[in-house]
Amino acid sequence: MEEPLRAGEAPPPRPPPSGIEGVAGIMAGKVKWVTDIEKSVLINNFEKRGWVQVTENEDWNFYWMSVQTIRNVFSVETGYRLSDDQIVNHFPNHYELTRKDLMVKNIKRYRKELEKEGSPLAEKDENGKYLYLDFVPVTYMLPADYNLFVEEFRKSPSSTWIMKPCGKAQGKGIFLINKLSQIKKWSRDSKTSSFVSQSTKEAYVISLYISNPLLIGGRKFDLRLYVLVSTYRPLRCYMYKLGFCRFCTVKYTPSTSELDNMFVHLTNVAIQKHGEDYNHIHGGKWTVSNLRLYLESTRGREVTSKLFDEIHWIIVQSLKAVAPVMNNDKHCFECYGYDIIIDDKLKPWLIEVNASPSLTSSTANDRILKYNLINDTLNIAVPNGEIPDCKWNKSPPKEVLGNYEILYDEELAQGDGADRELRSRPGQSLGPKAGRSRDSGRTVLTTWK
Amino acid sequence: MLQEEPDLSLVIAQIVQKLKGSSLYAQLERQAWTSLQRPEIKLESLKEDIKEFFKISGWEKKLQNAVYSELSVSPLPSHPAAPPEHLKEPLVYMRKAQVLINLRNPNYENGDSLSFRTHLGLIQVPLKVKDIPELVLINLRNPNYENGDSLSFRTHLGLIQVPLKVKDIPELKECFVELGLSTGQLGIDDSTQVPPELFENEHVRIGQKVLAEQDSAAAQQYVRQGSPTALRAELWALILNVSSQPEDILYYEQLKTNVIQHDLLVDSLIYKDVKLTASNDDYYFVFEDYLYQVLLCFSRDTTVLGHFAYNSASPPKSYIRGKLGLEEYAVFYPPNVAPLCFLYHEPSKLYQIFREMYVRFFFRLHSISSHPSAVLADLSTLKVMPLLQIFLFATVT
């Protein structure tokens, strides 16, 4: 195995129980794991803990599964019942957050609810736009919301829109349009070219394209941030400190003549690695700490801290938006890959959330990062690497968090005095940066009020 | 004292001469002419009025900064009869070594071994780039220096055997007094464990004040205790006296036009260098385009040639195609600029900062000289370093 085991030095295996228990005793104390994703960053982490691999038909304690498998595990027909010592890496209806259309639907609903409650967060400006909750690009479902979309499009006919299939990932099936006729053509083509009936036809979302992204070195990038949720009610989530930026290989141009050049517009590694300028040493990836250094140097500390505070804040809001509808199964935890684009006014936009962020390593650094990500995730989800008991209170001690830091802890927030804490939490939980971002965080606070 | 005075007046004359040719001088002259037309100007109190005007209008600071920046680049005053090559490097054996290391005009590049022609045009040796320090630096010897006890411990300390005057430990202690334990230092005293109220906040506040004052000398003193990330770009610009006037931006645009109009032989070297280094680097790949924007312009900027008056190396000339040998078309090959890209996102500003840094500091890294901040002295100082560390350790414990 070429895995960088040195990166997260393996703890010495626990001493075998002495005497008569023997081999059976040792085996009984070990976590039995299954996975249907054959990635070395996973398997090395399981083996490092001395866990035992079993098949999915045997008794297992820990199953790292794909989203296809989770659907079967929790489907009504199979009726699988997880016992107290079993843990899986997805929530049963994670798609409420991780499907492009459902995420937008839930966020829209969440805004309306806040508005109805008269929450200060739902404040609007004179044009009827949310001051703080406007963090996803305007989005419609197709074909369902076609008329709404046309109405919006006619208001700003020079805008560019991005079409994405709801259920696909890695940039598959995505294209940009800037004319209504292109939608009509797409609709005609998909009707005639496939045999599938109208009802099962693939759903698309169409979103306003962020055509003014922040460029560095003339190129577009997005952020991939990892967020771990251990429970939705109460909400407890963690932010991974080592996110990264993914750069396009080709210089950005807002010109409409390049609308069909995906190397200009899509940052997905799955797309970019086919570009002729793709570099296999760094894979077009830049650490978030580099981004922070660059922004602090060129734009100043206050706006940089404000940007990162806002990013943390919109992630918490997106999780709060789905928390009421999420099946908060106690056997589940989930590590999400958040995609965020920053525009040239340094406003962050939530693009989408992935339930199964890629564990493929495109570079050496990438492998170390993902190995550590899984390592830290397991340390929180499976305390001490011992056989799990899903009834535990799910609040691990600070020492095991590794590169995670608490992003939001609903219980703590409520204990500290309701809503005010909600806003200051992202700023305060930045760990080492907490001291510095607090000052600027406070100025932001007042605007949120 | 007696000796220093003519030196001082020489330096002043030199600087005045240099400033006369600058755009600062033209600006000042223009402003003086317009002010002259005003009725309240009186001949009797002219001198006092001018002094007063300088203070109020900020010209005093501007002139101070200009003089200060000239002082830091101008060569040490030498004997008026000294030939120009002595101005570049007073020691003959150093000059000889520089001839050897003159890796300029590389005719072609073959793997990592460079074929090059020496200054005399006589020999052509394939030389591995990585061998240069060994071949040239280690073999540097002062022919006039005879080390009496050749077997002493000190003679075997380090590879560089040039008897250069370097600072000893008490002198280094004095020179780097800001690194002492009793002085606050950014990067240490702003770490996570230290509350920002103790040092960091105050240091940032002072930094903003220094910037507001636009005082070059103060900025240089200030950064000795570390420069905050958010202020670094402006501080460095102030220290280097780079102000990004409209004419500077225009000059940069002209260089860019030159890049489009003329191809240089060194261009392919630059492309190759950037492709092999920055493009593969996980910090700097993002700035690939900036690097071209700076390096291609830099190789066409003839004003940079001025620094060879005080650099022991001769201009590594390259010529615009078809103009071989014509001095006014001579251009040359520069070092790396990547780390600066983190600080400046406008290419023209990035370019000016880089050029200033090159003609003041960077060139010393690839030329052989007895100058106290050149690479040889650095290496000789490093020999003292282990002793210094032991000393520091001893004071801590």
Residue B198 touches chain A, beta carbons under 8 Å: no
Cα distance from B227 to chain A (closest Cα, Å)? Answer: 11
Ranges of residues in chain A with a pLDDT under 70 are: 1-28, 79, 191-201, 416-449
Pure H helices in A139-244: 146-155, 180-193
Q: Which residues are bridge partners to A33 per DSSP?
A: A53, A62
CA distance A277 to B194: 44
CB burial of residue B343 (10 Å; 0-12, 13-18, 19+): buried
Nearest chain B CA: its distance from A294 CA (Å): 5
DSSP 3-state of A247: strand
The Cα of B186 is separated from the nearest Cα of chain A by a number of Å equal to 14
- Residue A297: which of B230, B283, B290 has the nearest Cβ? B230
| Residue A406: per-residue pLDDT | 95
Instruction: Write down the H helix ranges in B285-374.
Output: 288-298, 347-360
Q: Which residues of B touch A290 (CB under 8 A)?
A: 283, 286, 342
So what's the pLDDT on residue A263? 85
Q: What is the structure's pLDDT at A31?
A: 94
CA A231 to chain B, closest CA, distance in angstroms equals 30
Q: B284 touching A, CB under 8 A?
A: no
pLDDT beneath 50, residues of chain B: 1-3, 103-128, 315-335, 384-397
Domain boundaries, chain B: 47-74, 243-366
Alpha helix positions (H), A267-328: 269-272, 288-299, 301-322
pLDDT, residue A116, reads 94
Written out in words, the top-level CATH class of the domain with range A27-98+218-419 is alpha beta
Which of B195, B232, B286 comes nearest A217 by C-beta?
Answer: B286
Picking from B195, B232, B279, the nearest residue to A435 by CB comes out as B195
Task: Give the start-to-end residue ranges of the domains of chain A.
Answer: 27-98+218-419, 138-186+202-209
Q: In this complex, which of A247, A287, A297 lies closest to B232 when CB atoms are compared?
A: A297
Facing residue for A281 by CB, picked from B196, B280, B288: B280
- C-alpha–C-alpha distance, residues A355 and A100, integer Å: 11
- Using a CB–CB cutoff of 8 Å, tell me whether B228 touches chain A: yes
How far from the centroid of its chain's Cα atoms is residue B77's Cα? 18
| Distance, CA of B319 to chain centre | 24
**Which of A221, A282, A304 to mutate to probe the B interface, most B CBs <10 Å?**
A282
Length of chain A: 449
| Chain B nearest-CA residue for A433 | B192
Whether chain A has a CB inside 8 Å of the CB on B290: the answer is yes
| CA separation for the pair A190, A142 (Å, rounded) | 12
Maximum C-alpha span of chain B: 80
Rg of chain A on CA atoms, in Å: 23
Interface test with A, best of B203, B205, B286 (most A CBs within 10 A): B286
Cβ of A281 and B341 within 8 Å? no
B285·A284 Cβ contact <8 A: yes
Distance CA A413, CA B142 (A): 73
Most B-contacting residue of A290, A293, A298 (CB-CB within 10 A), to test interface? A298
Residue of A nearest to B229 (CA): A297
Residue B361 contacts A, CB cutoff 8 Å: no
Write down the pLDDT at residue B8.
Answer: 77
Please tell me the predicted confidence (pLDDT) of residue A368: 94
User: Phi, psi at residue B324, to the nearest 5°?
Assistant: -50, 130
Mutate to test the interface with A, among B227, B229, B350 (most CBs of A within 10 A): B229
Å from B166 to nearest chain A CA?
35
Peptide bond into A234 cis (omega under 30): yes
Closest approach of B341 to chain A, Cα-based (Å): 8
Q: Residue A174 burial by CB count (10 A; 0-12/13-18/19+): exposed, middle or buried?
A: middle
Q: What is the pLDDT of residue B10?
A: 77
- A 10 A CB-CB count for A342 gives 22
Angle at A206 between CA A200 and CA A208, to 5 degrees: 175
Q: Which helix (H) or strand (E) holds A404?
A: strand A404-409
- Measure Cα distances from A168 to A22, A65, A66, A223 in Å: 49, 18, 14, 19
pLDDT of residue B88: 60
Peptide bond into A143 cis (omega under 30): yes
